[in-house]
């Protein structure tokens, strides 16, 4: 009888009232107790983490023995990585190697819903030297984003969190500590310096995802691992947030996007602000009387200003305040215009050019991005005097690469007349064995 009483007493102790959903019996309000600083940081940062899928179309030729002739084919190469939204308009930071040479970029807000649709994205800027890229989601909306943190006060041993899309597994969280700072590594022909080393588990597919601190602030971009096995061996590297911030500001400060411009370039004033670094002799800024050296009056920081500038390019106008040398502040409202690339190239160089697209590549054999194809040459102009011909591929002028019309615009906007620069170009030469490509150099005088 006594044994029975004891057993009932023990059962009574072990059988509390039914627990609420999400609670562990006997632990009180255990969900709150288990909400550690890491959980809070993940809840803050994770909604801004995305997965990035890329498609690259590779074209090739092969000999069909059945038809006894050459045929064309193509195949799709797919890539996978991560990214983080850094602005509510849908601007995403990732690694350059994640989207390099991609023909299509699709972004998924991992973890939002099981069947979350993929959103097409457009490449805005890349920095191969630091392995960074900025893309923008094409679907309008106000997206969750993560705040930039500081990467200049990091401490060895402090807790960090890596969030990403390893092996396509969606929003995956790993933790670790900062193992070392200011690391340098080499990858192929490239070298990277100033990296954050951590022991958070990072795998293939994590590239481009954020490294966040215990406050949920973004302090780096996960970019590389050191591994003998090919998996996570406890040594991973991230690009510091300070480097990313400079990349974004440098990419957006030129005020020339999507075929429109303001005719000026903003520069860093060395104190976290911006100055008007250069005003081109033609363009909206020159018409408005803005002077080089004027300080930009910021409402916020330089990063916010540059994002607002990029947003304004889609609407057609941008208003901002500048303070001149006399400390007088004036507000300017400028309308974006098409840059006068064609007009200036015709006037100063005597050529009309085009970027190498798929159609031109098919016709000429030139690789897209290799240079600018000459479509027309002006009689008596600098190009004709140097025997430049229609069909030539302009590769560089001076130190400037001529892969895009934007690159050409930078050259023809340079002040001064009668400047002599070395022009490098490629000329196709047809032989009975096919087409060969000869490299030429000329000294061209800009008019």
Residues 6+ apart with CB under 8 A from 363: none
Contact 265, 211 (CB under 8 A): no
CA distance 160 to 44: 14
- 235 is written with which tokens? 């040594």
Catalytic (active site) residue 51: no
As a three-state string, the secondary structure of 304-355 is: HHHHHHHHHHHHCEEEEEEECCCCCEEEEEEECECCCHHHHHHHHCCEEEEE
Please provide the distance, in angstroms rounded to a whole number, between the alpha carbons at the two ends of the chain.
Answer: 113
Catalytic (active site) residue 87: no
Find, among 90, 76, 87, 110, the residue nearest to 205 by Cα.
Answer: 110
Q: Which of 179, 207, 251, 396 is catalytic?
A: 207
Q: 107 to each of 7, 53, 139, 291, how far by Cα in Å?
A: 60, 6, 10, 41
CA distance 258 to 270: 28
CA distance 291 to 439: 41
Q: Which of 51, 82, 87, 131 is catalytic?
A: 131
Q: Which of 97, 179, 223, 396 is catalytic?
A: 97
Beta bridge partners of 162: 174, 211
Contact 279, 164 (CB under 8 A): no
Catalytic (active site) residue 130: no
Backbone angles phi, psi at 436, to 5 degrees: -110, 165
Residue reference for tokens 């601007």:
91
* Catalytic center residues: 97, 131, 207
């Amino acid at each position: 009888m006594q044994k029975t009483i004891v057993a009932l007493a023990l059962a009574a102790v072990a059988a509390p009232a039914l627990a609420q959903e999400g609670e562990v019996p006997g632990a009180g309000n255990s969900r709150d107790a288990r909400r550690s600083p890491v959980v809070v940081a993940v809840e803050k940062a994770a909604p801004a983490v995305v997965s990035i899928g890329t498609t690259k179309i590779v074209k090739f030729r092969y000999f069909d023995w059945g038809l006894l002739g050459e045929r064309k084919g193509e195949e799709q190469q797919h890539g996978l990585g991560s990214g983080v939204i850094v602005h509510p308009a849908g601007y995403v930071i990732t690694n350059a190697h994640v989207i390099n040479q991609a023909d299509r970029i699709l972004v998924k807000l991992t973890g939002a819903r099981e069947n979350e649709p993929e959103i097409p994205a457009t490449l805005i800027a890349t920095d191969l030297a630091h392995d960074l890229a900025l893309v923008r989601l094409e679907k309008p909306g106000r997206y969750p984003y993560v705040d930039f943190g500081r990467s200049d006060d990091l401490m060895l041993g402090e807790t960090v969190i890596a969030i990403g899309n390893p092996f396509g597994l969606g929003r995956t969280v790993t933790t670790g500590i900062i193992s070392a700072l200011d690391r340098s590594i080499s990858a192929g022909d490239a070298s990277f310096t100033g990296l954050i080393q951590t022991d958070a588990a990072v795998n293939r597919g994590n590239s481009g995802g954020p490294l966040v601190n215990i406050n949920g602030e973004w302090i780096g971009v996960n970019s590389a691992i050191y591994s003998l096995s090919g998996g996570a061996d406890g040594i991973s590297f991230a690009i510091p947030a300070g480097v990313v911030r400079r990349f974004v500001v440098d990419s957006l400060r030129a005020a020339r996007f999507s075929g429109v411009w303001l005719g000026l370039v903003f520069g860093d004033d060395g104190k976290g602000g911006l100055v008007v670094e250069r005003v081109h002799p033609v363009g909206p800024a020159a018409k408005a009387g803005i002077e080089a050296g004027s300080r930009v009056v910021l409402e916020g920081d330089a990063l916010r200003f540059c994002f607002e500038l990029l947003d304004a390019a889609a609407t057609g106008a941008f208003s901002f305040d500048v303070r001149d040398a006399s400390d007088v502040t004036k507000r300017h409202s400028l309308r974006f215009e098409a840059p006068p690339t064609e007009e200036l190239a015709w006037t100063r160089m005597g050529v009309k050019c085009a970027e190498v697209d798929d159609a031109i590549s098919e016709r000429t054999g030139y690789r897209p991005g290799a240079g600018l194809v000459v479509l027309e040459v002006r009689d008596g102009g600098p190009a004709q005097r140097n025997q430049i011909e229609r069909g030539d591929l302009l590769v560089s002028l001076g130190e400037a690469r001529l892969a895009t019309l934007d690159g050409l615009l930078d050259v023809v906007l340079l002040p001064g007349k009668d400047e002599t620069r070395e022009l490098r170009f490629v000329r196709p030469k047809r032989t009975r064995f096919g087409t060969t490509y000869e490299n030429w150099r000329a000294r061209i005088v800009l008019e």
